[in-house]
Amino acid sequence: MIYLDHAATSFPKAPGVSRAVARFLDESAGNPGRGGHRLTVAASRAVEGCRDAVASLLGADPERTLLGPGATFWINTVLAGILGTGDRVVVSALEHNAVMRPLRHLERTAGIGVRVVEAAHRWGVPKPEEIAAAVGETRTRLVVLAHASNVSGAVLPVEAVARAVAPVPVVADGAQTAGSVPFHFGRSGLAAFVASGHKGLLGPPGTGILLLSEALAETLEPLVRGGTGSRSESEAMPDWLPDRLEAGTPNAAGFAGLGEAVRWLAGEGVPTIHERTLGLVRRLVDGLRGIPGVRLHGWTEDEPRVATVSFTVEGADSGELAGRLDRDHGVMLRPGLHCAPAAHRRLGTFPSGTVRAGIGPFLTAEAIDAAVDAVRAALR
C-alpha cells in the first residue's frame, strides 16, 4: 500500500496519535472547562496541551491560538467575522472552495466584491505587487490567500504580500503548509492563519486551528455561539479568547491526538520534514517524466513548494488511471478537481482535472519508485 494522498489528509498519523486519542477516551474524557472534577481537569489539560504545542510549533501566542473542527470552519469564521455589506476582498486564482464558496455566498447575500488576481507568471502564483495593485484599485477590506495550492503545490508569498498591502489585513489558508513548511506566525505580518489539524500537522480528522494577530483577536466575532463553561450567568458570549470563538463541547479526543502529533513534529523538525518530502517529490517527478505522455501541471523547478504534484497522461482518463492504480497496485492518489475549480481553470485543467500526488513524511524513496513503476504498468 502506497499512500500518495497526503494533500487530502495524512496517513499514517504521527507515532503515538492513535494511542493518545484512545488514552484520552479511556482515562480523561471529561468535558474540558466545564466544572472542576478530575476528569474535567484532565480533559482541559489535554486541550490546553494541544493549544500550547500548536502555538509553539507555529510561532503564535497560545492566547490567540484557537482550536476547532477544521480549516473550513475557521475560514468561514474569519470571513463572516470581518466582512460587512459592500466590502471588497482580493484573492488569488488558486483558492480552495473552502475560501471561494463562503466568498461567493457573501457576494450574493451581502454584496461583497471579490477580485481574483489571475497572475500571469508561475501558474497563478501572484507577485506581491500584483496583489498590492489589486488592493489599491478601490478600497479593499481583506486579502485572502492560499499559503500553498492544494493542486500544484506552489507556495504563495503570503508574508511579502502582507508587507506590500499593510495595513490591509491578510489571511492565509495554511491547510497545505502547516507542519510541512517552516513558518512563524508572529513574524509573518499576517492577520490570521488557518490550517487543518489532519493534513501536515498529522493529527486526527475533525481538527483545525486559527492563529490571530493581536488586532484581529480584539474584534473577531464568532460564527457559532453557545455554551463555553464560563460566565454561565450571561446569555452573551464571553468577550475573551478562546471562549469567545470556541462555543460548544470541543473535540477533545481529537485535540489530545493533535497535541501528540505536533509534539512529534517539533521533535523531528518541520525544516527536516520539508527537505525530505521535497526530495521525494523531485524523485517522483523525475520518474513520471520518464513515462511517455505524462504532463506535469503547475510544476516549477526552483520556486517554493510543498510536496504535492499534479499530472495528466495524454489519452488516459485521470479517474480511471487513479482507480486502476488503487485497485491493481495499491497506490492511492486523488483524481479530479480537488475542491479547487478556480486553480484548475488557471492551470488549464478544468473540467477534466488532474491526478494529484501528495507526499507525507513517512514515505520512502523505494515507495516512490514503486509508485512510478505502477503508473507505467497501469498505463500499459
Ligand X SMILES: Cc1ncc(COP(=O)(O)O)c(C=O)c1O
Amino acid (1-letter code) at residue 184: H
- Report the residue from 21, 43, 82, 98 that binds ligand X according to the rule CB under 6 A: 98
Provide the mask over 143-182, with x wherever binding to ligand X is found by CB under 6 A and - wherever it is not: ---x---x----------------------x-xx------
Smallest distance, Å, CB 206 to ligand X? Answer: 9
Q: How far apart are CA 270 and CA 57, in angstroms?
A: 9
Residues in contact with ligand X, shown as a per-residue x/- string from 116 to 145 under the rule CB under 6 A? ------------------------------
Q: In what order do the strands lie in the sheet with 88-92?
A: 65-68, 208-212, 192-196, 170-173, 142-146, 88-92, 113-117
Residues numbered 319-348 forming contacts with ligand X, rule: CB under 6 A: 339
Kindly write out the interface string for residues 213-252 of this chain, putting x where it contacts ligand X by CB under 6 A and - elsewhere.
Answer: ----------------------------------------
- Judged by CB under 6 A, does residue 71 bind ligand X? yes
Which letter does DSSP use for residue 154 in this model? B
Query: What is the C-alpha separation between 327 and 180, in angstroms, rounded?
Result: 29
Supply the minimum distance, in Å, between the C-beta of residue 71 and ligand X: 3
The single residue listed with the C-alpha cell 503545490 is: 153
Residue from 208, 259, 353, 361 touching ligand X (CB under 6 A): that is 208
d(CA 363, CA 104) in angstroms, rounded, equals: 38
Q: In angstroms, what is the minimal distance from the CB of 201 to ligand X?
A: 10
Q: Determine the angle formed by the axes of helices 38-58 and 252-268, rounding to 10 degrees.
A: 40
Find out whether the peptide bond into 12 is cis, omega within 30 degrees of 0: yes
Q: Is the peptide bond before 167 cis (omega within 30 degrees of 0)?
A: yes
Q: CA 70, 331, 271: angle at the middle one, nearest 5?
A: 55
Which segment (64-72, 82-90, 230-238, 255-263) binds ligand X by CB under 6 A? Answer: 64-72
Q: How far is the CB of 311 from ligand X (least distance, A)?
A: 18
Residues 313 and 379: their CA atoms lie apart, in Å, by 9
CB of 324 to ligand X, least distance (A): 24
Shortest distance, position 35 Cβ to ligand X, whole Å: 30
Residues of this chain that bind ligand X (CB under 6 A): 70-72, 96, 98, 146, 150, 173, 175-176, 196, 208, 339
